[in-house]
Amino acid sequence: MKVGDKVLISPDLTRLPQWISGTVIEVEDNPFVGTVISAETEDKDVYFGQEDLFKLQTEEICLP
């Protein structure tokens, strides 16, 4: 993943019932836990965690 990628953020991280979309704002190579991704949602909330808590968004999602 790289800065600017559209991603889905895991409910394990957000504590919401479903995956939410966001944009990667930082990718950090942490020597203790590996790659750490920071992503910002449209609501300007920022979530960060290990890379396995994010997945690349392959298609546009329309949320109600």
Predicted local distance difference test score (pLDDT) of residue 64: 56
Task: Specify the pLDDT at position 57.
Answer: 87
CB 58 within 8 A of CB 41: no
* Integer angstrom CA distances of residue 9 from 3, 31, 40, 64: 15, 22, 10, 17
pLDDT of residue 58: 81
- Ranges of residues in the chain with a pLDDT under 70 are 59-64
